[in-house]
Structure 1
Amino acid sequence: MRTAKRPVPVVVYTDRYRIEGVYHLTPQVRFLDDLNLRQREFVALTDARIAPLEPSGRVEEAAFVAVNKQRVVLVVPQDGGEGSAPQKS
């Protein structure tokens, strides 16, 4: 049985691209911990919008992208916080 993931809008920067998309976070795990603890070499995003950092480039859209972690310069969660797991009541 698969665990339901929590969608977190993010912006991923590489040395050449700005990629907006949705990262699927493991419930009850902080964003940074989830990103770092995974034994995967890629950051998987859905509903991605890929724009070159140079303004003259063409913007592409994709239902799914896998970004090599070695190419990632910065990941910014867009959920208004650090992407931490919601607190239990």
Structure 2
Amino acid sequence: MFRRSTDDVSEFTEAVVGFIGKLVDDTIPRTTIKKFPNQKPWVDKTICEALNSRTAAYNAGIISGNMDEYKSAAYGERRAVREVKRR
């Protein structure tokens, strides 16, 4: 199909590569992965969830004056980090 319409090899190559690129873009979904340069390799979703729960418990403890929930969340976060590092 393309060989008859073009005499130049570079035009043919450019057309084929563009067509393949379009097919790849149409069929393969693209996802964005956030990876920060200072992020440790063992930090995964469970660690992020533990950190978020610890922060929320701290903020709630500051408002209410009861830091027991923060202490348990901080212990859970330390335990999660220890488990992930052992893998």
Q: Same fold (TM over 0.5)?
A: no
What TM-score do you get using the length of structure 1 for normalisation? Answer: 0.22
Select the structure that is richer in strand. 1
Larger radius of gyration: 2
Structure of higher RCO (CA pairs closer than 8 Å, 6+ residues apart): 1
What TM-score do you get using the length of structure 2 for normalisation? Answer: 0.22
